[in-house]
Amino acid sequence: MTPREKPKVRELNLARTLREIRAGSETTISQLVQSTGLSRPSVNSLITELADLGWVETVTPSPDGMGGRPPQRYRFNAGAGRLIGLDIGVHRVSVLVTDLAGEVIAAENLDVAPEAPPAARLERIDEAVELVLSHAALTADDIWAVGAAVTGAVDAQGRTSMFSPMPGWGEVDLIGHLAGRLSCPVRVENDVKLALLAEHEWGAVRGAKDVVYVLAGQRTGAASMVNGQLVRGHGGAAGEIGALPAVRWARATERFLHLPGMPDSLRENDRAAWTFEQAQRADPAAKKIVRKYARDVATGAAAVALTLDPEIVVIGGGSAKWASLWIPEFSAMLNKSVVRMPEVRVSTMGGDHVARGAIRMAMSEVERRLYGDKLLPAKRPTARA
């Protein structure tokens, strides 16, 4: 090995060791020697450097009950910084604060009027952020990065310039707005894509490489992952299969609006749940609507599956709660429409899945800025880095 190559190898081994530490809750030198294939002296040296950089902390050993000295344990220093994940929807703004490993510290949800103009919606976002920071006893200076999810295709500048259901939102510079208030890196992405990112990190498709995610809720959408990478497309519009009328996604949720006997007082976003409840009680009209809904969703899912040949199709969104009522029909219809039937799974994430995906994107931004060719100290990155 030449003198020029030695620093590069050292950096690669640092990154490799940190990756192994992050993969578990706690680890020992012996476990790291086994998982990395490096020598014990090398691992000891790398641990020391990672601790000096602030990325690793020592865990106080607990007595093993056998009278012996327990091995020293180490873990990723997730408490070094904090992240914010935002889910900015038509009816609601949701925000999470987590540590650097994605562990939720505080959450806040605020309703917003669907017709709210951009200034009013941004004000509501600011209010939600201030509330969650207060709940977590944090200030803006504690936040290392922000991920934000919005409805609609997101371009390279973080704008939904092609279309958005939120009035006037295509002109909003969300990155500039949030970076100006929090002075840290900000990234914006489509909400369905971030829901898939959450599923891949913590949910039903953890570790899978080729995945199609179908959002089935108040609206229907799709996102995909190929070889472990999120597919964005040239302008961020990959997966917007619902724009094609032939896939019937636009009318899928409309079926839930007019079931005979439905109370007029129900809000539009509560009508699907009411219909599913009636189907669960074996109401014939409700069961028929649910069957048609399943087939409509399967038509669009088949179009994406035929294009990408995924290993797994995962179903998320509000309708996933009622999976036992419609997923069998969905799977049967999908099987009739594709060349190779993928495995169908149901999301294991909760209602905060989109905000969790935004957190994962914020984690990636920290990794991109601090885990580059040379591992930097564990310090808050600047918005301009």
pTM for this model (two decimals):
0.90
Dihedral angle at the C-alpha atoms of 234, 238, 241, 243, nearest 10 degrees? Answer: -50
Contact 196, 157 (CB under 8 A): no
Could you report the per-residue pLDDT of 186-221, keeping only the tens digit for each? 999 999 999 999 999 999 999 899 999 999 988 899
User: Between β-strands 82-88 and 92-99, what pairing exists: parallel, antiparallel or unpaired?
Assistant: antiparallel
Contact 342, 310 (CB under 8 A): yes
Could you report the per-residue pLDDT of 15-65, keeping only the tens digit for each? 899 999 998 889 999 999 999 999 999 999 999 999 999 999 998 776 655
pLDDT value, residue 65 = 58
Greater model confidence, 207 or 2: 207
Give the separation between CA 163 and CA 165, rounded to whole angstroms.
Answer: 7
Domains in the chain, ordered, with CATH? 5-76 (1.10.10.10), 80-195+353-370 (3.30.420.40), 207-346 (3.30.420.40)
Give the separation between CA 112 and CA 233, rounded to whole angstroms.
Answer: 30
DSSP secondary structure string for all residues of 53-112: HTSEEEEPPPP-SSSSPPPPEEEE-GGG-EEEEEEE-SSEEEEEEEETT--EEEEEEEE-
What is the CB neighbour count within 10 angstroms for residue 137? Answer: 9
Give residue 321's identity as a one-letter amino acid code.
K
**pLDDT band at 164, cuts 50/70/90?**
confident
CA-wise closest residue to 383 among 184, 188, 145, 186: 184
Could you report the per-residue pLDDT of 129-152, keeping only the tens digit for each? 999 999 999 999 999 999 999 998
Contact 83, 100 (CB under 8 A): yes
The DSSP code for 267 is -
Token pair, residue 138, equals 């944090």
Could you report the per-residue pLDDT of 360-378, keeping only the tens digit for each? 999 999 998 888 778 999 9
